[in-house]
Structures are given as C-alpha cells and as structure tokens.
C-alpha cells in the first residue's frame, strides 16, 4: 500500500519527492476551488445588474449550486471508483473552467442559471476529489496535514475576492474577468494535475484476484463504514459548514439591519472571520500533532461558542466584528479533522467512496445554515438567528468525544482498527 510504502515519522527531514509534489499540487487545487468560488460569489452583484436579477433569484441560484454540488459529489464517487481520485479531480477542474466560460458568455439569465447549476456539479466533484487526495497524501506523510489544504482554500478565496476587486477597480468587464479566472484554473490545473497521486500510488491496496472494486461493484468496506462509523463525523461537518455559511450569508445583514452599521462596516464581519480562519488553518496541523484531534475539536468548538456568544450579545457593530473574529479562530479547523478521522477507517478505493459520502454533509450544512438561520432571522431578526450557529457550536463540543485522543505525531491507526467513534 502507498500508505505503508511512504509512511514517514515526523522526525524525518525528507519526504518522497512524488509525495511532496502531490501535496503541492493538491494544495493548488484547493486554492483554485476557493479562488473561483469567490469569483463567482463576488461577481453575483454584477450579474444581478447585468440581467436585472432579483434578490430571490440570487438566493435560489445559490441554493441550486449547493443542491447540485451534492449530485457532483455522488458523481465523484463513481468516477473515482472507475478510474482514480486524480482523474476525477482533473475532470472537476476542467468542468469548472467550462462552466466558468459559460457564466462569462451567458447571453441571458436562463443561461446563467444553467451555467451555475453545472458549476455546482463541478464544485461537488472537486470538493470530494481534493479531499480524497488530501487523505491519501496525509497517509503517506503519516501525520496530520489536512488543515494546510484548507488553509490553501482560504487563501484562494481571499485571492479570488481581491482579483474581482482589482478587476472592478481597473474597469475590466464581467465577461473578461470571469474568463480570465477560468483560464487561471485551466492553466494551473493542467500543469499540476499530473503531479497528483495516481491510482497505483493512492487507491492501490492488496486484494485477492478478481476482487478489485469498480463503480458497479463498490467495496463492501466502504458501505460498512458508511453505516457504522462515519455518521458522527458527517454530523460534525454539517454543523461546521452550517456555521460557516451562516456567517457568510447573514453577518453583513446582521450588522447593517440589526446593529445599524454602514454597508462598508458590515462587510468587515466576514473579512474578520475569514482572516482568523486562515490563521486557524495554518496552525491547525501543529496543534493537532501536539494535542490530538479530540482536544483540538473541544477547544475549537469552545472558542466558537465564545465568539458567537459575543456576536449574539453585541450591542454595537465593533463588538460583533470581534465576536466573528474570535469564532474564526476555532471553527474552521474542525472540518479537515472530520475528513482526517474518517480517513483512518478504511483505505484504497473504499476510501474514495467514504470521502465522497462524507462530503455530502458539507452541502447539508450549507442548506441548513442558509435556510434555517435565514428563516429565523426573517421572523425574529438576525440576532436571534445567530443563536442557531451558537447552538451548533455547543453541540460540537459534545461531539468531540468521537475523535481520537491521540497526540503523537505519525500515530495514525490502520484502517479497520478500533476507533473512538465506536467506543462505548
């Protein structure tokens, strides 16, 4: 197995060049996903103005992207079982490029909606396959490194927002800016795609003759794991993404509508959250190696509770912004830990299937964070609405018990070993 051939202790100063190259390539893939996602979201106001779209139409389009991203995740599982996670990721990046060009060239709002729907499928494929690759690469390193991939996503999303801002400042047209962004995804994806782990390095594992899993004959271990162990990690991840989307969707409105801030001040809430999120993800690997997953989740969720409590109780905008900043220091490190822990339950192509199924909870969380928080905010105000993410963060403290308590770097358990989530 690749995991056994390439496992290194953290004390070793060198890593196999192919493994190091794959880590860089997958980090770039995470960054490209965050980059183009930010471009699509921050260009929505321009699309709205260009085609006279209503706020309801925009909300519906965002929900459509989330729903079809789930379908993309299901497609990613089938593609990975048929070929490999590397091939699946390259297909997903190409699909982002094509749908991005569709968005740029759309002549009317119907084509925009179709392009956004197809983009949602591409998002799901890339989300699932980047996490597949990340877990395989982590197995090769033999120590926790998943948070660094998510840091690359955060950096990419910041880069995407700055890219759009720069294009607006230089009066670059919507079509030209989106086409340029799609070209960046195409070029970097084509350049770095071959450096990802292939099926002989990632999915390969010893198996009896004739027992090779396929798309029509998925590995039994993946189904067994999905039913017995991964649900707790899925719930935890859904709650994290629900909190994340609630902040992304409603923080600015909370400051402007409830705390009477200016629109410029309202935008600082998300900026503060994303800024500290990047810090959390950059330091997450070191903290997990030192203190173990369970302790990190407990502390991260507690920080989230503290920050969101400040948000809910905030009397003025600046206090709410500080609350969002605090919350960002904790919550974003939990999602990569969910993938990491679930990744210890199986290996090979069964791991591809498990990562794809776990990724579905991502979109369940986004719908929960957007729909439930939005509905409560509409009826009772955004302050009450943010009590829901606060509750989710508190639940995550309780869910921390399903994570391993290990703190030794490089002490990943073999697939199929006794796991904390199965402990009585």
| Nearest C-alpha neighbor of 85 from the set 351, 359, 358, 414 | 351
15-202: in CATH 1.20.1250.20: yes
Cβ proximity of 55 and 166 under 8 Å: no
Sign of the dihedral defined by the CA atoms of residues 32, 82, 236, 10, in that order: negative
Q: How confident is the model at residue 210 (pLDDT cuts 50, 70, 90)?
A: very low
User: Is 11 buried (19+), middle (13-18) or exposed (0-12) by CB count in 10 A?
Assistant: exposed
User: Is the pLDDT reported for residue 212 higher than 60?
Assistant: no
Average pLDDT taken over every residue of the chain: 85
Cβ proximity of 346 and 213 under 8 Å: no
Give 218-242 pLDDT, tens digit per residue: 444 545 554 556 788 999 999 999 9
- CA distance linking residue 402 with residue 338, whole number of Å: 10
User: Is the pLDDT reported for residue 103 higher than 60?
Assistant: yes
DSSP 386: T
Query: CA triplet 366, 88, 128: central angle to 5 degrees?
Result: 25
pLDDT at 274: 87
211 backbone dihedrals φ, ψ, rounded to 5°: -105, 10
Of 125-134, 182-191, 200-209, 352-361, give the lowest mean pLDDT range: 200-209
Q: Where are the alpha helices (DSSP H) in 292-420?
A: 293-313, 317-328, 334-342, 348-380, 382-385, 387-399
| Nearest C-alpha neighbor of 356 from the set 94, 135, 95 | 135
Tell me the HSE value of 87 on the side-chain side, using a 13 A CA sphere: 14
Q: Which residue would you say has higher pLDDT here, 258 or 204? A: 258
- CA distance linking residue 160 with residue 340, whole number of Å: 27
Of 55-64, 250-259, 272-281, give the lowest mean pLDDT range: 55-64
Which range among 51-60, 112-121, 161-170, 263-272 has the greatest average pLDDT? 112-121
Give 402-422 pLDDT, tens digit per residue: 898 875 444 544 443 433 333
Write the CB contacts of 2 (distance below 8 Å, at least 6 apart in sequence).
Answer: 136, 139, 140, 197, 201, 202, 204
Q: What CA dihedral angle connects 347, 351, 352 and 357, to 10 degrees?
A: 170
Of 42-51, 200-209, 336-345, give the lowest mean pLDDT range: 200-209
Instruction: Please list the residue range(s) of the chain that carry CATH number 1.20.1250.20.
Output: 15-202, 218-424
Compute CA distances 168 → 51, 89, 105, 171, 397, whole Å. Answer: 18, 31, 18, 5, 42
Tell me the HSE value of 196 on the side-chain side, using a 13 A CA sphere: 31
pLDDT at 227: 52
- CA distance linking residue 128 with residue 33, whole number of Å: 11
SS3 assignment, position 101: helix
Of 26-30, 40-44, 173-177, give the lowest mean pLDDT range: 40-44
Q: How many residues does the chain have?
A: 424
Compute CA distances 291 → 24, 198, 280, 335, 337, whole Å. Answer: 26, 32, 15, 17, 13
Q: How confident is the model at residue 96 (pLDDT cuts 50, 70, 90)?
A: very high
CATH of domain 218-424: 1.20.1250.20
| Nearest C-alpha neighbor of 95 from the set 25, 32, 157 | 32
- CA distance linking residue 225 with residue 234, whole number of Å: 12
Q: What percent of the chain has pLDDT over 90?
A: 55
Give 127-161 pLDDT, tens digit per residue: 999 999 999 999 999 899 999 999 999 999 888 88
DSSP 360: H
Cβ proximity of 15 and 153 under 8 Å: no
Tell me the HSE value of 357 on the side-chain side, using a 13 A CA sphere: 21
User: Helix (H) and strand (E) counts for the chain?
Assistant: 17, 0
pLDDT at 106: 94
Cβ proximity of 250 and 374 under 8 Å: yes
- pTM of the model as a whole: 0.84
Give mean pLDDT, residues 109-121: 94
| Nearest C-alpha neighbor of 63 from the set 378, 385, 312, 375 | 375
Which contiguous run of DSSP H or E holds residue 84? Answer: none
Q: Cα–chain-centroid distance for residue 161?
A: 17
Compute CA distances 287 → 216, 237, 301, whole Å. Answer: 41, 19, 14
């Amino acid at each position: 197995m690749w995991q056994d051939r390439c496992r290194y202790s953290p004390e070793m100063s060198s890593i196999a060049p192919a493994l190091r190259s794959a880590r860089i390539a997958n980090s770039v893939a995470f960054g490209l996903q965050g980059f183009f996602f930010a471009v699509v979201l921050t260009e929505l106001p321009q699309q709205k103005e260009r085609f006279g779209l209503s706020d309801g139409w925009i909300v519906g389009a965002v929900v459509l992207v989330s729903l079809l991203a789930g379908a993309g995740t299901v497609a990613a599982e089938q593609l990975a079982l048929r070929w490999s996670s590397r091939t699946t990721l390259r297909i997903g990046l190409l699909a982002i490029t094509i749908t991005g060009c569709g968005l740029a060239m759309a002549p009317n709002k119907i084509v925009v909606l179709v392009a956004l729907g197809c983009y949602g499928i591409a998002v799901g494929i890339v989300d699932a396959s980047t996490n597949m690759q990340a877990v395989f690469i982590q197995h090769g390193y033999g120590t926790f490194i998943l948070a660094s991939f998510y840091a690359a996503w955060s950096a990419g999303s910041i880069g995407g927002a700055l890219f759009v801002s720069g294009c607006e400042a230089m009066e670059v047209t919507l079509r030209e800016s989106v086409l340029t962004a799609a070209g960046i995804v195409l070029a970097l994806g084509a350049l770095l795609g071959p450096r990802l782990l292939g099926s002989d390095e990632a999915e390969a594992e010893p198996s009896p003759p004739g027992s090779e899993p396929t798309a029509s004959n998925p590995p039994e271990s993946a189904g067994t794991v999905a039913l017995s162990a991964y649900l707790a990690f899925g719930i935890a991840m859904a709650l994290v993404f629900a909190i994340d989307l609630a902040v992304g969707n409603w923080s600015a409105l909370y400051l402007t509508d409830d705390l009477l801030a200016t629109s410029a001040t309202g935008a600082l809430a998300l900026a503060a959250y994303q800024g500290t999120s990047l810090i959390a993800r950059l330091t997450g690997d070191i903290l997990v190696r030192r203190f173990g997953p369970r302790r990190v989740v407990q502390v991260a969720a507690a920080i989230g509770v503290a920050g969101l409590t400040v948000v809910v109780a905030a009397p003025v905008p600046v206090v709410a912004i500080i609350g969002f900043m605090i919350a960002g220091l904790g919550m974003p490190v939990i999602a990569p830990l969910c993938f990491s822990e679930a990744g210890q339950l199986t290996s090979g192509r069964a791991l591809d299937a498990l990562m794809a199924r776990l990724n579905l909870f991502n979109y369940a969380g986004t719908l929960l964070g957007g729909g439930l928080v939005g509905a409560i905010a509409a009826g009772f105000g955004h302050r009450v609405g943010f009590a829901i993410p606060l509750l989710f963060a508190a639940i995550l403290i309780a869910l921390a018990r399903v994570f391993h308590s290990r703190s030794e770097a490089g002490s990943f358990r073999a697939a199929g070993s006794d796991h904390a989530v199965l402990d009585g």
